[in-house]
Each structure stands twice: as C-alpha cells, then as structure tokens.
Amino acid sequence: MDAPPPAGKSATTAITNHMVCLAREGGAEHICFLLALRATETQFLPKTFKDVAKLQANSKKRWLESCLEELKSLKDRDVYEIVDLPKGRKVVKNRWVFNIKPDGCY
C-alpha cells in the first residue's frame, strides 16, 4: 500500500479516494488499511474528562457535546436525583468512558 499523502485538504480527498478504491477491490490490503485507520483514531481518545480540555478545539467541542448529550439522556430517564449526602455516608464514585462507536458516534 502506498504511504498516505501529507495532511491537508488534498490529503483528505486522496485518502477518501484510496478508501473507495480499496473497498471496491477488497482483500487483505483493505483490511490492513482499515485496521491502521482505526489504530490511529484510538490514539486520540481521552482517558479522563480532564483530557478532553487538552484536545484541539474541534475534537474538544465534539466530546463536550457528547458528554452533555449523555447527561441529558440520564436526566430524561430519571436515572439519578441530586440529594444532600447523609452524614456518615460516602459518595458513589463514577467515571467517564470515552470511545467512538462503530457508527462514528462519540
């Protein structure tokens, strides 16, 4: 497989054209290309919510929108309610899990 062209708008077009060609032809080269593409995508996944703040503006915006959408979904389904913590009790801890779904959703 040829090395991808340098980054830029023309590079995006060239990569898209290459993907279309590989999808049409199929085979091991197509599978290797898709695996390499997926591997590069996963390198930029934030591990914590604080990591989202360190991302570039466009990625940061998408992750924050996804977080707000998730919180809205939880609220709409009445998954939680905010109450005062009873004395002697501990808060249930949680964490964000960042991943890109197979359909491209964050």
- What does the pLDDT read at residue 1? 47
- What does the pLDDT read at residue 43? 54
Q: Which residue bears the tokens 């996963």?
A: 42
Parse the chain into domains and list their residue ranges. 1-43, 46-80+96-106
- What does the pLDDT read at residue 31? 74
Q: What is the mean pLDDT of residues 5-31?
A: 69
Q: Do the Cβ atoms of 68 and 75 come closer than 8 Å?
A: no
Is 3 or 63 the better-scoring residue by pLDDT? 63
Query: Secondary structure of the chain in the HEC alphabet?
Result: CCCCCCCCHHHHHHHHHHHHHHHHHCCHHHHHHHHHHHHHHHCCCCCCHHHHCCCCHHHHHHHHHHHHHHHHHHHHCCCCCCCCCCCCCCCCCCCCCCCCCCCCCC
